[in-house]
Structure 1
Amino acid sequence: MAGFTGSCLCKAVTYKSNADPLMIANCHCENCRRATGSVFGTILFVPEDQLQFDGEVTHFSHKADSGNTMTKQFCIKCGAQLFGTNSGRPNVAGIRAGTVDDLNIIKPTMNVFTDSMVPSTQLDQDLPSSPKMPP
């Protein structure tokens, strides 16, 4: 694949990852549900130093259930969440799958935080699942 690109809803923020995803997770934690407004969030994890973006973003930081500090980055114009970092995983950025240009690259490799998933959500049984985020 050799990297990928994406943008926010209004296209004021664009980005390029020069690296392929380290993993792609369907995250069922409460934070992802509330941040995305959906029953889970799909996140592409990349080395933070391989992510370049143009445009202005704002930040929101909060403490996750794990005790780690999560920082989410949003477009200042349309409010779309694009990226996030987690103090428990230094040097890794999470990119929201809905912002990726080529949707064909979104092939989740695992489900995480299944212990807090919405009960009616059906999991892909071909993917490994973890009740929390694996180390």
Structure 2
Amino acid sequence: MTKFTGICLCGSVKYTCEITPSLIMNCHCSDCRKAMGSIHGTTMFVPEETVKIDGYPRSYSHSSDSGSSMTKIFCETCGSQLFSKNSNRAGGIGIRAGSVDDASLIVPMMNIFTQSALPSTPLDPNLPQHRKMPG
């Protein structure tokens, strides 16, 4: 089991998690690019009950292209996005990799929504590539 911690930019919201993430992936969908303000979003997936949040984050929900409800959870002070939830994956939570204190834990396992990847985005040829959401 891996214990890791994370924090938002201003330090108002912190978290701890005591489990090895089951999946770490780079998402290239336009929603992740917009929400993260980057060329892709990297997310670590864990059971929600393994995450202890200290602080009072806010949330924003929207529909995904598959029709599920996606919730972005962020610090209301600095705007750092820390977590995400998907209504089709009850009990799970995504932790935004950029918020994790120990960057050595971020080892992506796949790229998803590569059909939406920016043409200039390098994709690791050693990782599985999925044009959309797998499974």
Measured against the shorter chain, the TM-score band is over 0.9
1:48 corresponds in structure 2 to 48
Indicate the residue corresponding to 2:20 in structure 1. Answer: 20
The question of 1:30 aligning with 2:40 is answered no
- Which secondary structure does the structure 2 equivalent of 1:88 belong to? coil
Question: Between Structure 1 and Structure 2, how many residues are aligned?
Answer: 135
Superposed structure 1 runs of 4+ greater than 6 Å apart: none
Q: Deviations for 1:77-133, whole angstroms, at most 9, x for unmatched residues?
A: 111110010011111101111000000010000000111111111100000111111
- Tell me the residue number matched to 2:77: 77
Per the alignment, residue 91 of structure 1 pairs with 91
Q: Show the 5 A alignment for 1:84-123.
A: 84-123=84-123
Rounded Cα–Cα distance in structure 1 between residues aligned with 2:20 and 2:53: 16
- Measured in 2, the distance between the counterparts of 1:37 and 1:133 equals 20
Runs of 5+ consecutive residues of structure 2 not aligned to the other structure = none
Q: Secondary structure at the match of 2:59?
A: strand
Aligned residue number for residue 60 of structure 1:
60
